Amino acid sequence: MPDVARLILASASPRRKELLERLGVRFDVRPVEIAEDAGLSKDPQIVASRLARAKAEAARLADEQAPILAADTVVAFGGRIFGKPADAGEAREMLRTLRGRTHEVVSAVVVMPLGQRSLIARQPLTEVTMREYGDDEIEASIAHGYPLDKAGAYGIQDELLRPVERYEGCYCNVIGLSLWAAIEVLRKAGEGVAVESVDFLPQCASCPLARP
């Protein structure tokens, strides 16, 4: 891809940056600011897709030509949509609500192709069951500041809290960007990714989204 057409990652998430780097795609990080309001919908796929689209559209206003990738993650449980906690109190409440229960995680990924305003999107859903962690473990995680920039106030890869007992679906989706979904939308957008060169995570081998 020529330098003038480098992919734009419209996200400030260090986890998405690390995951996208595994695809061997050259890109620039250019975060955008949007109102991350879930709105009236309680469907996590609708909410995540709408927010990811809003990020891509905001990024397009700043760059009329470059291809853009944007993503958004939401957690859903009991008819509620959980985004990032506003503070430690909200993080504590989220972690207590999710403890020992199964919820849904959606990380919508959208690509706006070179010079276009149309979007190609995927919104994988992963079911996650949390373990019965204690209040002291919640407080330790909060003290480290770990929950405050994550939807649902946790990370599946968190070695301190180790919040997840099991999951069904794409592991990377829970981190914030499904590698297989990203490959699919980038290919459809004409931003080719050589699968054989991808630095997959160990969990990607058994991912239900995997393609040969």
Helices vs strands, H then E, count in the chain? 6, 8
pLDDT bracket for residue 114 (50, 70, 90): confident
CATH no. for 3-206? 3.90.950.10
Mean pLDDT computed over every residue of the chain: 91
DSSP sequence for 49-68: HHHHHHHHHHHHHH-SSS-E
Q: Where are the domains of the chain?
A: 3-206
Cα(101)–Cα(206) distance, rounded to whole angstroms? 23
Calculate ∠ Cα 5-6-12, nearest 5°.
Answer: 135
The model's pLDDT over 145-163, given as tens digits with 9 standing for 90+, comes to 999 999 999 999 999 999 9
- Catalytic residue numbers read 72
The model's pLDDT over 175-212, given as tens digits with 9 standing for 90+, comes to 999 999 999 999 988 866 665 678 999 999 999 999 77
Give the chain's radius of gyration (CA, Å).
17
